[in-house]
Structure 1
Amino acid sequence: MVRLTKTWDGGIVGSSEGRLLQVFLPTGAAAYVGIERVEASVDGRTGTFVPQHIAAGDATGGAGR
């Protein structure tokens, strides 16, 4: 499990904390899923949102969303 923290500056100002779960296979394939809680201001509006992270790949490339 990976713990991450971020500081946002620019169009979004605030901070976030998240967790990622990663897997690496002997074939070279890898994937992760994660969730992050963002506390920030956007255009003067303050609040929170929770993006989900998903990605998978291998030695030839990968895809995420």
Structure 2
Amino acid sequence: QIMKDTSRTPINLEKAVGEFERNLIVEALKKCDGIQTRAAKQLGTTRRILRYRMDKLGIDISRDKLA
């Protein structure tokens, strides 16, 4: 969905990267039943950095349906 025909549509790199990162984090949290430490390990990062990125991207475990 991000890689549409770009000949006519400008791409906002920051927005595309943020969307991609958000999707990766949400999927990891789903696979790990919302357990941030396990999701961070799966993503190859620390829980602290995962939490920072979740806050930055507006990911709220209670709001974003992980089931």
TM-score (norm 1): 0.24
Greater C-alpha Rg: 1
Structure holding more helix per residue: 2
The structure that is strand-richer by fraction is 1
TM-score by length of 2: 0.24
More contact order relative to length (CA 8 Å, sep ≥ 6): 2
